[in-house]
Amino acid sequence: MRRMVPIENASMPDRTVIEWDKDDLDALGLLKVDCLALGMLTAIRKALDFIGLRKGCVFGMQDIPAEDGDTYDMICKADTVGVFQIESRAQMSMLPRLKPRCFYDLVIEVAIVRPGPIQGGMVHPYLARRQGREPVVYPSEALKEALGRTLGVPVFQKQVMQISILAAGFTPGEADGLRRSMAAWKRKGGLEHYYSKIVDGMTSRGYEESFAKAIFEQIKGFSEYGFPESHAASFALLVYASCWIKCHHPAEFLAAMLNSQPLGFYSPSQLVQDARRHAVEVRPVDVMYSDVDCTLEDLHHEPAVRLGLRMIAGLKASSADRIVAARSQQVFDSAEDLALRARLELHELKLLAAADALMSLSGHRRQQVWEAAGLHAAPGLLREAPVDEDFLALDEAPEGEEIVFDYASTGLTLRRHPLALLRERLTLRGLMTAQDLEGIEDGEHVSHCGIVTLRQQPETAKGTIFLSLEDETGVVQVIVWKSLREVQRQELLGARLMVVHGRWQREGLVKNLIAVRLEDLTLLLGRLGAATMSRDFR
């Protein structure tokens, strides 16, 4: 038994962390519990609190109606920006194919887009059987018990163990040893010695060699990352809860997600753009109305989301608290009154002005910045003395400049999308919007331009990169094959505003743009294209 372990102070008071190797714990027979921290749990709790506030009662997970048809309709359309687990590019591509219509479908959805089923070649057979393109068959009557709920295709870790016992002659103890070798941390081998026992054991019992090898490939996939069925079911509960909230309470969902940042695939800007496309009204940060967190207004009608002071880059939480506390005692009548009673320094006033948060007190942003600059920090004895300067009326900034400052200060804009300002120029170049592409038939050659909001290269994609491009009308999913990636690497990885010339691919609700050639139009964004002014673009 080890007598020495690393020790460190925990972040919580009066707690200490000792670091034991997980394999040593296992060898000694000590209990090991994995605690998984999920930001979505926080977001769901905050959303449920908002819903309860509107309903005038406590509203919990148990109050969410089961098997809601509208929620599954939304899921089948892959309208899942921001929800738990099924918000990724790969999951969104799978949803219209699998078409989940009940809770267990979500359990499978969570588990099937994983290296185990993908590398084991189990995804396409499952989809083909679910869609009725292939008959549901079982390798043997003995395996029907193990594979009945997944249409004869092994999807879960437990099923692989059952197959090893029922079809390869493993004992329960040997199957448990196989499970341990499949555990997520066994990524550097530890499985090859099972190959002959699995393949030979299955073929000697009359199973096809191809099926036996496919099972072993799936086992290797599980060694990278495989889901037990119970794990997938637990995650599916959060998938359904987050989807139901997004479907029926989109304002509450947005406010909760913004108050739980950072988490998930999507930035605040993308979440806000998506919510506004779903008719959610989002109101700007304003010292006269905003709390520290984002809140709901007009609770008895269709609620609007009021952005909170937490959205302002660089503003300390303590300063935001003082603003809210001072306003609760008496509303502010000027920027000067705000500065004095909330004890704000000059740089904090400038942050508020840059975020357009002094609109109700000072007017448009240029006027706000001018007034904030005039409220110089006074010596201690003169801190309460008013500043008396003549009023100077300034012209309002053009929309493009306002949008630049929006992104710089809060990471998003409630004004027009940046591409709306460029649309005339983009149209002259023959570049279609996301909305235009909705009417295009499969196989047509098209050109589209959008802001790159996501780049993804899954390990199972064999060098393929997936992009998401956003314009003022929606989001387009782009597939870039490895061959093009190697030729246009600079445009692919460096462009913030990208043109994709390619072939439009649609299969039912699944739509992708297959890239043939890329262009970098980042220069058209001007200052929005600079890294320092684009916290959201990546």
DSSP string, 29-50: T---------HHHHHHHHHHHH
Looking at residue 223, its pLDDT comes to 62
Do 390 and 479 lie in a common domain?
A: no
Q: Do both 403 and 427 map to the same domain?
A: no
Residues 99 and 188 in one domain: yes
Runs of H (alpha helix) within 290-334 = 317-329
Q: Is residue 261 part of a domain?
A: no
Q: How many domains does the chain have?
A: 3
115 in the same domain as 85: yes
Boundary of a domain, candidates 365, 382, 410: 410
Kindly state whether residues 396 and 424 are assigned to the same domain.
no
382, with CB counted inside 10 A (0-12, 13-18, 19+), is exposed
Residue 233 φ then ψ, to 5°: -65, -40
- Helix (H) or strand (E) segment spanning residue 400: helix 399-410
- Averaged pLDDT, 14-42: 82
We report the CATH number of the domain holding residue 374 as 1.10.150
Residues 359 and 431 in one domain: no
pLDDT of 532 above 50: no
Question: Does 323 lie in the same domain as 405?
Answer: yes
Asked if 514 and 403 sit in the same domain, the reply is: no
Q: 534 pLDDT exceeds 50?
A: no
Q: Is residue 74 part of a domain?
A: yes
d(CA 493, CA 499): 13
What is the domain-level CATH number for residue 449? 2.40.50.140
SS3 category, 295 = strand
Reported as a pLDDT band with limits 50, 70 and 90, residue 392 is: low
In terms of DSSP H, where are the helices of 148-228?
A: 157-166, 172-182, 195-203, 209-225
Residues forming beta bridges with residue 510, ordered by sequence position: 507
pLDDT of residue 533 exceeding 50, the answer is no
Sorted by sequence, the CB contacts under 8 Å of residue 11 that are 6+ apart come out as none
Range of 342's domain? 281-410
For residue 319, what pLDDT band results from cuts at 50, 70 and 90?
very high
Whether 406 and 433 share a structural domain: no
Instruction: Give yes or no: residues 64 and 176 share one domain.
Output: yes
Bridge partners for 282 per DSSP: 305
